[in-house]
């Protein structure tokens, strides 16, 4: 199904800025932690002091290469840093160091899956490394602007897509999938609300079969939902412009999330002349092919591969999808399911466990019950120590922080009764108390079997092993 607004088709390309996960900045040793007090993570290099020089952080380079490999992209063994020159108060050097002409990563691709299950390949044009600027705060003082340089010099990866997306849903799925891959790789935390990941959204519209029309770029959109909204409202705006006989002008726009409209920021005519040229302080970045191979070999398993493996383990495609959405869940699942019934583990995790997380407002990265303990719980079910019903009770006690399931079963006496003598005694008592029902059963009203099961389980306070109860009951009821 092609997404259309009237008889207009949408063309969308995204530039995603992803902050590299690393201890230090791209060209200085200053720290990068989020939320530090203003100007507390700034070296003289980041502040552009006289005589200061950049020297590249190898870990940031490795992270960019890992990301490139995760996007099935070409790794350029020779790349170069350029200076993008412009004046602004939060740009201390008066230029941003970026890879304009020769990025570290070339073309790659991402496969997205839409809600109806359709898959689509979105091309990646390039990925390059660059420095972030500082942050200007214009609302702290009536006549002054405050500058926080903590972000100045932080390593960013700019990941540029081909204009391959055709609907808000595709754009949203692309950002979500990219974020998922980055998180799996551990190369960006993907926290869009903290600014670790933000998207510039390029939108144009056209009649099917046409070439591209003029696009507009919507800057710094910071959630998947806003990306989808921005695409839609911008496309509708452009369609209105074209349909009223006007022309769309190339410009940079901002998405006003409160009002749900895009607003012009600057036109192409106002665009800076960035005077790009190779940064003479930095020799070309030359990578060793063997080093890239090492990084490739140590790459974690990515979501698509993991999902396929889960389906092969017998999980439903839906469960496999849910369990691979983020790496923490997948790792939790695998720890819990190791050497056990994968299907049972998946049911427990996606069922009771996720429900508990919701209820407690906790995250799987900070789990209320460990994967190891969940595994032990599965073991107690498997060896029939616990029935399903009792297991749920034990799980509640685990959530309450009472420790390992084995210990809870011991101290609370929740062990399932498999002692046939005890079950037989219970059955006899039930049969005596319900002589009328027994007669009806024996005269052919077999539906009453369930009634007897319920009575026996009740008499045993749920601890009776259901299989044993069933078996013994069948024999004894038959007389």
Q: Which residues bind other proteins (CB under 8 A)?
A: 44, 47-56, 83, 85, 87-89, 92-95, 145, 147, 273, 275-277, 280-283
Instruction: Tell me how far, at minimum, the Cβ of 89 lies from other proteins, in Å.
Output: 5
CA–CA dist 189, 193 (Å, integer): 11
Instruction: Tell me how far, at minimum, the Cβ of 148 lies from other proteins, in Å.
Output: 13
Q: Which is nearer to other proteins, 85 or 434 (CB)?
A: 85
Nearest Cα to 14, choosing from 185, 203, 201? 201
Whole-number Cα distances in Å, 133 to 89, 94, 285, 309: 10, 10, 22, 42
Instruction: Tell me how far, at minimum, the Cβ of 292 lies from other proteins, in Å.
Output: 21
Residue with tokens 């020799």: 283
| 390 in Cβ contact with 411 (< 8 Å) | no
Q: Which is nearer to other proteins, 78 or 277 (CB)?
A: 277
Instruction: Tell me how far, at minimum, the Cβ of 44 lies from other proteins, in Å.
Output: 6
Q: Which is nearer to other proteins, 186 or 283 (CB)?
A: 283
Whole-number Cα distances in Å, 317 to 72, 145, 332, 417: 24, 52, 18, 37
Q: Which is nearer to other proteins, 89 or 425 (CB)?
A: 89
| 56 in Cβ contact with 24 (< 8 Å) | no
Instruction: Tell me how far, at minimum, the Cβ of 43 lies from other proteins, in Å.
Output: 10
Task: List the structure tokens of 41.
Answer: 């993570």
Burial of 323-350, coded b for 16+ CB within 10 Å and e otherwise, reads bbebbebbebbbebbeebebeebbebbb
Instruction: Tell me how far, at minimum, the Cβ of 102 lies from other proteins, in Å.
Output: 14
Q: Which residues contact 443 (CB under 8 A, 6 or more apart)?
A: none
Q: At what angle do helices 168-185 and 303-312 cross, to 10 degrees?
A: 90
Instruction: Tell me how far, at minimum, the Cβ of 46 lies from other proteins, in Å.
Output: 11
User: Dihedrals φ, ψ of 2, to 5°?
Assistant: -85, 135
- Report the phi/psi class of residue 407: left, alpha or beta, with left for phi > 0 and alpha for psi in -120 to 50: alpha
Q: Which is nearer to other proteins, 18 or 97 (CB)?
A: 97
């Amino acid at each position: 199904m092609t997404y259309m607004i009237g008889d207009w088709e949408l063309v969308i390309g995204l530039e995603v800025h992803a902050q590299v996960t690393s201890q230090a900045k791209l060209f200085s040793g200053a720290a990068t932690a989020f939320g530090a007090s203003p100007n507390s993570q700034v070296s003289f290099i980041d502040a552009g002091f006289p005589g200061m020089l950049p020297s590249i952080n190898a870990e940031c380079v490795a992270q960019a290469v890992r990301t490139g490999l995760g996007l099935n992209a070409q790794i350029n063994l020779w790349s170069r840093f350029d200076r993008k020159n412009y004046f602004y108060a939060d740009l201390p050097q008066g230029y941003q160091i970026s890879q304009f002409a020769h990025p570290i990563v070339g073309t790659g691709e991402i496969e997205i899956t839409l809600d109806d299950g359709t898959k689509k390949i979105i091309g990646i044009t390039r990925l390059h490394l660059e420095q972030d600027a500082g942050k200007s705060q214009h609302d702290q003082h009536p006549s002054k602007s405050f500058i926080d340089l903590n972000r100045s010099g932080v390593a960013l990866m700019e990941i540029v897509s081909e204009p391959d997306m055709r609907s808000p849903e595709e754009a949203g799925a692309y950002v979500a999938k990219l974020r998922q891959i980055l998180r799996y790789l551990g190369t960006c935390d993907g926290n869009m609300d903290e600014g670790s990941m933000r998207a510039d959204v390029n939108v144009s519209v056209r009649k099917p079969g046409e070439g591209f029309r003029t696009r507009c770029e919507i800057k710094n959109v910071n959630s998947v939902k806003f990306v989808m909204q921005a695409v839609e409202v911008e496309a509708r705006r452009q369609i209105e412009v074209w349909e009223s006989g006007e022309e769309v002008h190339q410009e940079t726009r901002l998405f006003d999330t409160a009002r749900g409209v895009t607003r012009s920021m600057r036109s192409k005519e106002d665009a800076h002349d960035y005077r790009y040229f190779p940064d003479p302080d930095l020799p070309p970045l030359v990578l060793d092919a063997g080093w890239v191979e090492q990084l490739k070999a140590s790459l974690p398993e990515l979501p698509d591969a993991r999902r396929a493996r889960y389906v092969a383990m017998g999980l439903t495609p839906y469960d496999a999808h849910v369990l691979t959405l983020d790496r923490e869940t997948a790792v939790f699942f695998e720890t819990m399911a190791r050497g056990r019934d994968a299907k049972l583990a998946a049911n427990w995790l996606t069922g009771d466990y996720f429900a508990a997380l919701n209820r407690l407002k906790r995250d799987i990265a900070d789990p209320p019950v460990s994967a190891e303990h969940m595994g032990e719980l599965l073991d107690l079910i498997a060896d029939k120590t616990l029935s399903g019903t009792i297991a749920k009770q034990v799980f509640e006690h685990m959530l309450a922080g009472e420790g390992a399931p084995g210990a809870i079963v011991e101290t609370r006496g929740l062990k399932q009764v498999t002692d046939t003598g005890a079950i037989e005694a219970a059955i006899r008592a039930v049969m005596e108390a319900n002589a009328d029902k027994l007669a009806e059963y024996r005269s052919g009203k077999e539906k009453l079997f369930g009634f007897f099961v319920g009575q026996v389980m009740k008499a045993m306070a749920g601890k009776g092993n259901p299989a044993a109860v069933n078996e013994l009951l069948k024999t004894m009821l038959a007389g």
